[in-house]
Structure 1
Amino acid sequence: MAGHTDNAVVIDAPMDLLWSMTNDVPSWPELFSEYAAAEITARDGETVTFRLTTHPDEDGNVWSWVSRRTPDPETRVVRAQRVETGPFEYMNIRWEYAQQRDGVRMRWIQDFHMKPQAPVDDAGMTAYLNRNTVVQMKLIRTKVEAAARALAGAEPGAPNGR
């Protein structure tokens, strides 16, 4: 048995803005509510290796791990995997961005398997990720749409500075 999640949100913002904000790993502590720190440890072309550290959870635990992420600006797909897997046997993530009439659809697909000694099983982690992903996607949508409105308001010739 393995865990799998598939969540998406439509964000009313230009593709390039969404792409740049969500692929700027060092800014993730400002974009996501769960991360206290994001540190790039290596770069190889488009691929970045980085350490994420969370804010303390409800039990006071701070989690930290290393991941590798490769964005492809041509296909608007990002592939990522945990390098330090922690409680996971493996964790693979795919982000997809697709232009739609009402904005950009950002989709996260996560495939994983928990280690036998992990504090939760695949079903428990699937439920957690499905809850938390919705929260994080809504937060990202709010922040990216605010940035898009701010940029639109700064454009020369916009009525009333908008």
Structure 2
Amino acid sequence: MPRIENSIVIAADPQQVFAITNDIARWSEIFKEYHGAKVISQERDGRWSEITFELTDAEGNSWQSWRMLDHRDLVAVAERRSPLHPFAFMHLRWTYGAEPGGGTRMTWIQDFELDEAFEVPLPTVLERMQRHTEENQNLIREKIESGAVAAA
């Protein structure tokens, strides 16, 4: 199973980084590739939140995803739901931990399989996803550290 895993240290409190990066309604502010982010349903029960949402990219493509947030341990697990293509499945895990010298280590893990009908070779997909993840994490770090985005 292919996997992309990236970490970055952000000079901010873990709770703050977790809150900002999991505020789905604001993803069009935080991520450059999402031109729309719509929360379809959201429930919170103490420690846990469950969110179903729709994302739209610059080309107008939309898909729904699901996310479960653990507000105590600062973990988000998610999956792409519909449409799945170009994936057979896409599962994500984001973790947020305090760094000994201060700040937050934010780690994103993406486990997936490509749809058999998808014609782009896996090495090309891996390279694009790796680059894309690094760009997003760097952009998020810049926005949080500069104060351009803050927890609501």
* TM-score over 0.5 for the pair: yes
* Structure with larger Rg: 1
CA-CA distance at 1:79 after TM superposition: 0.2
2:77 matched to which residue of 1? 79
Say whether the 8 Å CA contact 2:40–2:52 is kept in structure 1.
yes
Distance verdict in 2 for CA 1:25–1:75, change over 3 Å: same
Q: Is there any run of 5+ residues in structure 2 with no aligned partner, and where?
A: none
* CA positional deviation for 1:148: 8.4
Q: Distance in 1 between matches of 2:150 and 2:53?
A: 29
Match of 1:69, as an amino acid?
A: R
2:41 is the alignment partner of 1:42: yes
After TM superposition, what 4+ stretches of structure 1 lie above 6 angstroms from structure 2? 148-151
What is the CA distance between 1:121 and its match in structure 2?
3.6
Q: Give TM-score, length-normalised by structure 2.
A: 0.88
Task: Provide structure 1 residue ranges, at least 5 long, that are not aligned to the other structure.
Answer: 57-61, 152-162
CA RMSD of the aligned region, Å?
1.9
Structure 2 distance, partners of 1:6, 1:126, is: 11
Report the 3-state secondary structure (helix = DSSP H, G, I; strand = E; otherwise coil) of the residue aligned with 2:138: helix
The aligned residue for residue 98 of structure 2 is: 99
- Answering whether residue 126 of structure 2 is matched by residue 126 of structure 1, we say yes
8 Å CA contact 1:10, 1:102 repeated in 2? no
Q: How far, CA to CA, are the matches of 1:53 and 1:149 in structure 2?
A: 21
Q: Could you tell me whether the CA contact under 8 Å between 1:49 and 1:66 is conserved in 2?
A: yes
1:4-153 equivalences under 5 Å are 4-45=3-44, 46-56=49-59, 62-84=60-82, 85-100=84-99, 101-147=101-147
Identity of aligned residues (%): 34
- Count of aligned residue pairs for this structure pair: 145
SS in 1 for 2:120: coil
Stretch deviating more after TM superposition (36-45 or 116-125): 116-125
Secondary structure of the structure 1 residue equivalent to 2:134: helix
Query: How far did residue 12 of structure 1 move?
Result: 0.2
More strand by share: 2
SS state of the match for residue 98, structure 2?
Answer: strand
